[in-house]
Amino acid sequence: MTEAFDAVDIIRTKRDKGTLSPEQIDWTIDAYTRGVIADEQMSALNMAILLNGMDRAEISRWTAAMIASGERMDFSSLGKPTADKHSTGGVGDKITLPLAPLVAVFGVAVPQLSGRGLGHPGGTLDKLEAIPGWRAVLSNEEMMRQLGTVGAVICAAGAGLAPADRKLYALRDVTGTVEAIPLIASSIMSKKIAEGTGSLVLDVKVGSGAYMKDEASARELAGTMVALGTDAGVKTVALLTNMDTPLGLTAGNAIEVEEAVEVLAGGGPDDVVELTVRLAEERLQAAGVAGADPAAALKDGRAMDVWNRMIEAQGGDPRAKLPVARHSEVVHAPADGVLLRLDALAAGQAAWRLGAGRARKEHPVQAGAGVRLHAKPGAVVRAGEPLMTLLTDTPDRFDRAREALAGAVVIGPEGDRPDQRLILGRIAG
């Protein structure tokens, strides 16, 4: 077979800050998927894209080519609007758990295809697998049936969705090109568009515990993804949210499920409730639902009812006791004053080192491991008071977790107040 293009010419074009044609992009994704383009060649192209960027048309075509590499889902037979959500990842980010059943309360189908954690950001499926009996892998038929009966499903994405992205992501992970905004945006949006949802709300994290450390980069990424969704006919909106501090009071797996259930029961930490309600409002608005009151649905138990049915439909027991770590160690406040900073990245790394996360995708996680916070920035603390509790099944992990927390806590004079804004901005198509 004679190939339409040559990989070296494609690489040179981006190296020299040129623009790839739609035909070149289609061939590149197809040829890499088929093995015609070698990993070292695609690595060079990824680096050229990282350094020189892509314009909107290039990113849109790159995304479409990745979608075309696999199957697309179709929820039109459900007869009701669909709404999806994606978070770019953070520490303590259990929002998907209460959010999916909350949105389903109002007659919107919620097909939430999620992943497992790698590194310090937690994975939604890892959290849910702490529930006895719950299973992440569903067939398309099971997923459709559950959406029709329960209204919400959180499960693993099938291997048939954007398979080119799976191969590209693994390569970016080991070649220092994960941060390339065109590649991040197309990776996320190719899967989300292939899922077939009618509307999408993006939670783009900003800060130490996020992939995007500064607001300008996060805003660029959010704008790029909103444009991709708009170009594909998916109503898309993005919120920029603060990830300098962990969300809520837990970072782990079972302990985050516990906190999510507290939110569904009408309680829970203020920041988790605030973001859950705001994202629900955005999803319902994007899906065309008017007059909904998601805050009320948390308080009166309707969202909890959907949660229980959703967990049971996937084999889980929502009333079963969650796993508890066998060992714990308390970290105390070093001084009196106001807690000005509790670094999200440090807390996430500590939870990861305690066993809540994994360094390689094939590694297991500990369901009970993690970090439980006893104070958040803005709280007045006293020397010797508990600031956080470290949890693990393997106590030899405590030393490395404490190392990760070195310098994570800043305490200032009483009267000082940290910036506690949670939602930093909104970007719509």
Q: What is the CATH number of the domain that holds 213?
A: 3.40.1030.10
What ranges make up the beta strands (E) of 207-326?
235-242, 250-252
- Tokens 């997923």 found at: 143
Task: Report the distance separating Cα 407 and Cα 54, nearest Å.
Answer: 38
Query: Does 280 share its domain with 331?
Result: no
If one counts the domains in the chain, the total is 2
CATH number of the domain enclosing 388:
3.90.1170.30
CA distances (Å), origin 8, targets 24, 168, 425: 12, 18, 41
Catalytic residues: 86, 165, 172, 187, 191
Tokens encoding 347:
């807390």
In a domain, 7, yes or no: no
On whether both 248 and 390 belong to a single domain, the answer is no
289 plus 267 within the same structural domain? yes
Q: Which residues of 40-66 are buried (b: 16+ CB within 10 A; e: fewer)?
A: ebbbbbbbbbbeeebeeebbbbbbbbb
Max CA distance (Å), the chain: 73
What's the domain range around 291? 76-158+195-320
Q: Which position has the token pair 């770019």? A: 88
pLDDT in tens, the chain (429 residues): 788 899 999 999 999 999 999 999 999 999 999 999 999 999 999 999 999 999 999 999 999 999 999 888 888 889 899 999 999 989 999 999 999 999 999 999 999 988 776 666 778 999 999 999 999 999 989 999 999 999 999 998 877 778 888 888 888 877 888 889 999 999 999 989 998 889 999 999 999 999 899 999 999 999 999 999 998 999 999 999 999 999 999 999 999 999 999 999 999 999 999 999 999 999 999 999 999 999 999 999 999 999 999 999 999 999 999 999 999 999 999 999 999 999 999 999 999 999 998 777 677 889 999 999 999 999 999 999 999 999 999 999 999 999 999 999 999 998 888 888 999 999 997
Main-chain phi, psi angles of 379, to 5 degrees: -80, 145
Domain match, 131 and 273 both? yes
Report the pLDDT value the prediction gives residue 82, as an integer from 0 to 100: 93
Residue with tokens 């849910």: 128
Q: Is 389 helix (H, G, I), strand (E, B) or coil?
A: strand
20: in domain: no
Q: Is residue 45 part of a domain?
A: no
Does residue 34 fall inside a structural domain?
Answer: no
Give the integer Cα–Cα distance in Å for 84 and 79. 16
Residues 275 and 315 grouped into a single domain: yes
Enter the pTM of the model. 0.92
